[in-house]
Amino acid sequence: MMTPGTAVKTFTMDGKPFSATEEETILDVARENGIDIPTLCHLEGILPTGQCRLCMVEIQGSGRLVPACATKPEEGMDIITDNPRLRNYRKMIVELLFSERNHICAVCVSNGHCELQSVAQRLGVNHVRFAYLHPRFMLDGSHPKYEVDHNRCILCGRCVRVCEEIEGAHTRDLRNRGIRTMVITDFDTPWGESPTCTGCGKCVHVCPTGALAEKGKSVAEMAKRRHFLPYLAMRRRGGK
Amino acid sequence: MTNEELLAISEKEQELQQQVRYRIMVCSSTGCLSSRSDEILAALEAEVKQRGLENEVLVKKVGCLGLCAAGPIVSIQPDGILYKEMTPEDVPAILDRLGGEPLEEKRIDTHQPFFTRQKKNALENAGVVDPERIEDYIATGGYAALIKVLTEFSPSEVIQEVQKSGLRGRGGAGYPTGLKWSTVAKAEGEQKFVVCNADEGDPGAFMDRSILESDPHRVLEGMIIAAYAVGANQGYVYVRAEYPLAVKRFRTAIRQAEKMGFLGQNICGTPFSFKVDVRLGAGAFVCGEETALLQSVEGNRGMPRLRPPYPAQSGLFGKPTLVNNVETYANIPAILRNGGEWFAQTGTEKSKGTKVFALTGKVKNTGLIEVPMGITLREIVYDIGGGVPDGRKFKAVQTGGPSGGCIPEELLDTPVDYESLKALGSMMGSGGMIVIDDRSDMIDVARYFMEFSMEESCGKCVPCRVGTVQLYNLLGKFQRREATEEDLKTLEELCDLVRSASLCGLGQAAPNPILSTLKYFREEYLAKIRKSTPVEEA
Ligand SMILES: Cc1cc2nc3c(=O)[nH]c(=O)nc-3n(C[C@H](O)[C@H](O)[C@H](O)COP(=O)(O)O)c2cc1C
Ligand code: SF4
Ligand code: SF4
Ligand code: SF4
C-alpha cells in the first residue's frame, strides 16, 4: 500500500519494471535489486557529484548518458544499465585512470583491497590502450599517523567531501587544472602542519585507492573501514 | 528619474555635441590603445586647444570602430571620414584638412563591404558614444527603454516582448532568452539574482570585451531590465581580471547609473530596487560554464556541477539565478525600445537578430563585426573580411572556438545560424571566427584547440581530464607520422567517449575540432598514418 501523497515513480530498467521513491536515484534502485553498476566516486553518506562517470547509464530513445548516482528516475523512463557501448565506455574510463598516474599494484599499500583494482578486474580491463602519462607527484608524509601518495590518487573527491560534509573541517580541496589537479591540505600546507585537520582519518578510510593510507600498516592491515559513514551522515541530519 | 528628466539630459547633451562643427572620435578600446591611441587623443586635445578650436572641435574617446587591423582609427563627424593607422604625428595634418579634402593616404573607404554589409545592434553605439559618459549614452536613447519598462510594462509583458523577439543566448548554446527569463521569473523565492557572464575565454575572441569597453551602459541597462522582469534584486557581472579596461569602464557605468537613480533603491521612483556588483574571475575558461561561474562568484573553486538543478531553479547561494551573456544583455534595450517584432525582422526563421563575431586569422580585414543571422560564411570571409591575403588559398574557417569546428571551402555558402553550424559539426559559440589558409595543417589546428581544452579542463571528471590529454598525444603521433590505423580507431573512439561522457560542456565539446577535421580533412590524417605497418617491416 502506498502512503497517500508519496510520489512513487515507475519506470523500466533493462526491460524490467521498477519503482522508486522521490529520494531514490537510479543507482539506489539498481543496488536494491542486485543490478551491478560500477562506481568510484560515489559513497553512501556523502553527496553524489557524478564525476568519475563510471556509473553512466543510457536513457533509451534519446541515447543520452546520465550518471546513475545522481539521477532520479522519472516516470516512464526506460533505462539501460548495460550494453556494449556502456561496457566499452566503462572500460575506457578505467583504462584512462590507469594511464593517468602510477598504478603498479604490486608495490601499493592497497594491493588486494583497492576499489580501482577491483573495478578493473570486474570490468575485464586486461590492457590499457592509452599511453602512460604518470606525472610525478611528491609524497606527503608529514602527518604523524597518515600519508598521502598523489601518484595513486584518482581525484574521486571522496576525501574532500567527507572532510567537509561529515567532519565539517574542510581541510581538503583541490588545486591546479587538468592532469596536474591534486588534492591539497588547507592552502597547500604539509598535512602534518594543518591547523584545521582533526586527525580523524575519515578521508583515509573513504579513499578508494592507496592514495591515503595509515602509516606503518602492512598491506594486509590497510583495509579501509567505512561502515561508520551512513551512520554519521544520518546523525548529522539529526536522525537517531 | 522620469522620462521628461531623461529627455532633458538627452537634449542638453545633443546640443552640446551639435554646438561644435566637428567631432573627432578616437578609438579607445584595448586594440587601438595598444597601438598608442591614447597618445593620439592627447595630441588632438592639445593641438585643438593650441589652435583655439575648442568651440568648434570636440575630441572624444569612443569604443571599438571595428576594423581593428587598421588601428588606431580616428573618425571625423559629421563628415563620416575614417582614418586608419594614425600616429600622434598625423594630428596636425588631419586638423589642417578639417572641412577640406581628407588625407587620402590615411583614409579608409567606408563604402567597402566591410562597412556596408554589417548590421549593428549590440554594437550600435560602439565607436559613437564615449563609454565613460552616461550623458552620451542617454543622448542616443539610452535608459529610455528602462524607464518605459518600469512605468508601462509588467514583468510578464517584458518577458513576452523578449520572447517575441526570438533572441537566443549569445554565450554559445543559443538557449531562448525569453524562455530562460520566464523560468527564473516563475521560480519561487524572495531573493533572486541576475548574472552577466563576461568570462569570455575562447582563444581569438574579444566580442564581449569590446562591448563592455565600448558601451557598458547598454549591458547594464539590459541587466536592470532583466532583473525587473525576473524579480531579482541583486546582480553580478563576472568578468575576467585580464580585462582591466572593461572592468574600469563597467564600474564607472555602475557609479554613474547609481547617481542617476537607475540602480539602487526605488529605481526611477518605482518600487523596484536592484544593485549590481562586479566580480573578477582569475581567467579559467571553465568558469564561463554557468555552474562553475556561480561557484566562483560564491568564492569557491570554479568547478562545474551536475545539472539539473539548473541555475534558474537553484543558482547562486541556492537561489533562482538568471545567467546571460554580455551580448545577450546588450541586445535587450533595443528590443524593449523598438519592440520584439522589430528585432525578429532580422535573421532567419530560428535565429533572429544579429551576431557579433571576432574575425581573425588569415583574412584581410580582421576585426569586430556584427552581421544579420543568415548571412553566409562566404559573405563574411570574402565580402566583409576581404578574403585571404598574400595570394594564399582559403582552406577552412574555424567557428565556435575550442568547442567548435572547422568548415571547408565547399560549405562556405552555409548560412550563419545556430542549427546550420551545428549540423556541420561546428557551432556558433560565442563568436570567434578564425580563417585558415592553405599553409595550415588541419591536424595542427585540431591539436592547438585540444591543447587548450586539456590545459583548461578543471580536472573533475575522468573523460575530460585524462581523455583530452590522450587525444592531444594521439594527434602528436599523427604529426610525427608515427600513428597507425589502430591509433585512428582509438582517436575516434576516445572522441566519442569524451563527447558523450564528460560532465560539462567543456569536455563534451572538446573533441569537436578533431571530429570536424576528421570529417572534412580526413585525407590529412590518412596521409600521416605510417605507411608500412610493423608487421610488414618484419
Ligand atoms: C566551458 C564553457 C565555457 C563557457 N564560456 C562562456 C563565456 O565565456 N561567456 C558566456 O557568456 N558563456 C559561456 N558559456 C556558456 C554559459 O555556460 C551559459 O550558457 C551562458 O552564459 C548563458 O547565457 P546566454 O543564454 O545569454 O548565452 C560557456 C560554457 C562552457 C561549457
Ligand atoms: S591504488 Fe589501487 S590500482 Fe592503484 S596501485 Fe594501488 S592497488 Fe593498484
Ligand atoms: S586521495 Fe583518495 S579519496 Fe581523495 S581524491 Fe584521491 S583517490 Fe579520492
Ligand atoms: S568536462 Fe572537463 S571541465 Fe567539465 S567538469 Fe569534467 S573535467 Fe571539468
- Each residue's pLDDT tens digit, B290-304: 999 999 999 999 999
Number of other CB atoms surrounding residue A218 within 10 Å: 7
Residue B26 parent element (H or E)? strand B22-27
Average pLDDT in the B110-125 region? 93
| Residue B406 sits at the chain A interface (C-beta within 8 Å) | no
In a domain, A3, yes or no: no
Note the ligand closest to the C-alpha atom of A150: 3
The DSSP code sequence of A138-196 is -EE--SSSEEEEGGG-----HHHHHIIIII----EEEESSGGG-EEEETTT--GGG-SS
Using the Cα atoms of residue B457, residue B460, residue B463 and residue B467 in order, give the sign of their dihedral.
positive
- Model confidence at B521: pLDDT above 70: yes
In a domain, A98, yes or no: no
The CA distance from B304 to B296, in Å, is 10
Helices (H), chain A: 26-32, 84-100, 115-123, 158-162, 202-206, 228-236
Q: Do both A199 and A150 map to the same domain?
A: yes
Query: Is residue B393 within 8 Å of residue B483, measured between CB atoms?
Result: no
Question: Which residue of chain A is at minimal alpha-carbon distance from B454?
Answer: A178
In a domain, A99, yes or no: no
Average pLDDT in the B416-436 region? 93
Query: Is residue B516 within 8 Å of residue B425, measured between CB atoms?
Result: yes
How far apart are the CA of A49 and the nearest CA of chain B, in angstroms?
A: 7
CB contact under 8 A, A179 and B305: no
CA of B194 to the centre of ligand 1 (A): 14
Residue B117 sits at φ, ψ, to 5 deg, of -85, -5
In a domain, A143, yes or no: yes
Q: Do both A43 and A141 map to the same domain?
A: no
CB contact under 8 A, B502 and A53: yes
CB contact under 8 A, A131 and B454: no
Which one is predicted more confidently, A234 or A209?
Answer: A209
The CA distance from B97 to B282, in Å, is 47
What percent of chain B shows pLDDT beyond 90? 88
In a domain, A175, yes or no: yes
Note the ligand closest to the C-alpha atom of A202: 3
Closest residue by CA, ligand 3 atom 7: A153
How far apart are the CA of B429 and the nearest CA of chain A, in angstroms?
A: 22
Cell 576581404 -> residue: B386
Which domain does A43 fall in, by range? 9-82
In total, how many domains does chain A have?
2
Q: Which residue among B461, B468, B500 places its CB closest to the CB of A65?
A: B500
How far apart are the CA of B430 and the nearest CA of chain A, in angstroms?
A: 23
Question: Which residue of chain B is at minimal alpha-carbon distance from A50?
Answer: B306
In a domain, A188, yes or no: yes
| Residue B457 sits at the chain A interface (C-beta within 8 Å) | yes
| Residue B535 sits at the chain A interface (C-beta within 8 Å) | no
Ligand 1 atom at shortest distance from the alpha carbon of B508: 31
In order of their start, the domains of chain B are 3-117 (3.40.30.10), 141-345 (3.40.50.11540), 354-437 (3.10.20.600), 442-527 (1.20.1440.230)
The CA distance from B418 to B167, in Å, is 12
| Residue B466 sits at the chain A interface (C-beta within 8 Å) | yes
Number of other CB atoms surrounding residue A76 within 10 Å: 9
pLDDT of amino acid A4: 55
pLDDT of amino acid B170: 96
How far apart are the CA of A216 and the nearest CA of chain B, in angstroms?
A: 31
Q: Do both A71 and A17 map to the same domain?
A: yes
The CA distance from B89 to A216, in Å, is 76
pLDDT of amino acid B538: 38
Mean pLDDT of chain B: 94
Mean pLDDT of chain A: 92
Kindly list the residues from chain A whose CB atom is less than 8 angstroms away from the CB atom of residue B462: 51-53, 93, 96-97, 100, 154-155
Kindly list the residues from chain A whose CB atom is less than 8 angstroms away from the CB atom of residue B465: 100, 155, 178-179, 181
Model confidence band, residue A224 (pLDDT cutoffs 50, 70, 90): confident
Average pLDDT in the A111-121 region? 95
**pLDDT, tens digit, for every residue of A25-70?**
999 999 999 999 999 999 999 999 999 999 999 999 888 899 999 9
The CA distance from B239 to B199, in Å, is 5
Kindly list the residues from chain B whose CB atom is less than 8 angstroms away from the CB atom of residue A56: 501
Q: Please measure the distance between the N-terminal and C-terminal CA atoms of chain B and give it in whole angstroms.
A: 86
The CA distance from B324 to B316, in Å, is 14
| Residue B309 sits at the chain A interface (C-beta within 8 Å) | no
Q: Is B430 in the pocket of ligand 1 (CB under 6 A)?
A: yes
- Model confidence at B258: pLDDT above 90: yes
Kindly list the residues from chain B whose CB atom is less than 8 angstroms away from the CB atom of residue A25: none
A80-84, A94-98, B64-68: which range is least confident on average?
A: B64-68
Query: Is residue A67 within 8 Å of residue A24, measured between CB atoms?
Result: no
Average pLDDT in the A172-199 region? 96
Q: Which residue among B301, B456, B503 places its CB closest to the CB of A174?
A: B301
Ligand 4 pocket list (CB less than 6 A): B 286, 304, 457-461, 464-465, 502-504, 506-507
Q: For helices B485-501 and A84-100, give the axis angle rounded to 10 degrees.
A: 100
Q: What is the ipTM of this complex?
A: 0.93
The CA distance from B100 to B123, in Å, is 30
- Model confidence at B157: pLDDT above 80: yes
The CA distance from B431 to B421, in Å, is 12
**pLDDT, tens digit, for every residue of B259-295?**
999 999 999 999 999 999 999 998 899 999 999 999 9
pLDDT of amino acid B68: 84
Q: For helices B442-456 and B512-520, give the axis angle rounded to 10 degrees.
A: 170
Q: Do both A67 and A118 map to the same domain?
A: no
Query: Is residue B340 within 8 Å of residue B162, measured between CB atoms?
Result: yes
CA angle B101, B106, B108 (to 5 degrees): 90
CA of A207 to the centre of ligand 3 (A): 5
**pLDDT, tens digit, for every residue of B499-511?**
999 999 999 999 9
Residue A8 Ramachandran class (φ > 0 left, ψ -120 to 50 alpha, else beta): beta
Q: Do both A125 and A226 map to the same domain?
A: yes
Question: Which residue of chain B is at minimal alpha-carbon distance from A131?
Answer: B470
Q: Do both A203 and A143 map to the same domain?
A: yes
Contacting residues for A63 by C-beta, under 8 A, at least 6 apart: none
- Model confidence at B425: pLDDT above 50: yes
Note the ligand closest to the C-alpha atom of A149: 3
CA of A55 to the centre of ligand 3 (A): 18
Kindly list the residues from chain A whose CB atom is less than 8 angstroms away from the CB atom of residue B497: 89, 92-93
Model confidence band, residue A229 (pLDDT cutoffs 50, 70, 90): confident
How far apart are the CA of A68 and the nearest CA of chain B, in angstroms?
A: 12
CA of A88 to the centre of ligand 4 (A): 20
Q: For helices B485-501 and B462-479, give the axis angle rounded to 10 degrees.
A: 150
CATH value at residue A170:
3.30.70.20
Model confidence band, residue A5 (pLDDT cutoffs 50, 70, 90): low
Q: Do both A43 and A148 map to the same domain?
A: no
pLDDT of amino acid A219: 67
The CA distance from B213 to B30, in Å, is 8
pLDDT of amino acid A235: 72
CB contact under 8 A, B501 and A178: no
Query: Is residue B143 within 8 Å of residue B221, measured between CB atoms?
Result: yes
At B209, list the grid cell: 570585451
At B350, list the grid cell: 530560428
Q: Is A55 helix (H, G, I), strand (E, B) or coil?
A: coil
Q: Do both A65 and A112 map to the same domain?
A: no
**pLDDT, tens digit, for every residue of B169-214?**
999 889 999 999 999 999 999 999 999 999 998 888 899 999 999 9
In a domain, A94, yes or no: no
Q: Do both A123 and A221 map to the same domain?
A: yes
Q: Is B238 helix (H, G, I), strand (E, B) or coil?
A: strand
Q: What is the dihedral of CA A57, A58, A60, A62, to 10 degrees?
A: 140
Kindly list the residues from chain B whose CB atom is less than 8 angstroms away from the CB atom of residue A67: 306
- Model confidence at B537: pLDDT above 50: no
How far apart are the CA of B170 and the nearest CA of chain A, in angstroms?
A: 25
At B515, list the grid cell: 571530429
Strands B394-399 and B405-408: what pairing? antiparallel
Closest to A163 measured CA to CA, from A18, A46, A71, A24: A46
- Model confidence at A118: pLDDT above 60: yes
Q: Do both A131 and A227 map to the same domain?
A: yes
CATH value at residue A59:
3.10.20.740
The DSSP code sequence of B396-456 is EEEESGGGSEEEEGGGTT-B-SHHHHHHTT---TTSEEEEEETTS-HHHHHHHHHHHHHHH
Q: Do both A115 and A199 map to the same domain?
A: yes
Q: Do both A113 and A232 map to the same domain?
A: yes
- Bridge partners of residue A17, in order along the sequence: A12
Ligand 1 atom at shortest distance from the alpha carbon of B456: 1
Amino acid at B269: G
Query: Is residue A50 within 8 Å of residue A67, measured between CB atoms?
Result: yes
Helices (H), B68-126: 91-96, 113-116
Contacting residues for B114 by C-beta, under 8 A, at least 6 apart: B66, B67, B365, B367, B369, B383, B384, B385, B386
> 3-state DSSP helix/strand/coil percent for chain A, to nearest 5?
30, 15, 55
Query: Is residue A24 within 8 Å of residue A71, measured between CB atoms?
Result: no
pLDDT of amino acid A230: 74
Q: Is B294 in the pocket of ligand 1 (CB under 6 A)?
A: no
CA of B412 to the centre of ligand 4 (A): 32
Ligand 2 atom at shortest distance from the alpha carbon of A152: 1
CB contact under 8 A, A173 and B301: yes
Q: For helices B216-230 and B177-186, give the axis angle rounded to 10 degrees.
A: 40
Ligand 2 pocket list (CB less than 6 A): A 103-105, 108, 110-111, 114, 116-117, 152, 209-210
Kindly list the residues from chain B whose CB atom is less than 8 angstroms away from the CB atom of residue A89: 497, 500-501
At A176, list the grid cell: 591546479
Ligand 3 atom at shortest distance from the alpha carbon of A154: 7
Model confidence band, residue A217 (pLDDT cutoffs 50, 70, 90): confident
In a domain, A101, yes or no: no
Kindly list the residues from chain B whose CB atom is less than 8 angstroms away from the CB atom of residue A74: none
Average pLDDT in the A98-120 region? 94
Spacing of C-alpha B295 from chain mean position: 23
Instruction: Out of B199, B290, B450, B464, give the residue to mutate to test ligand 4, the one with the largest number of ligand atoms within 8 Å of its CB.
Output: B464
Average pLDDT in the B131-145 region? 96
Q: Is B200 in the pocket of ligand 1 (CB under 6 A)?
A: yes
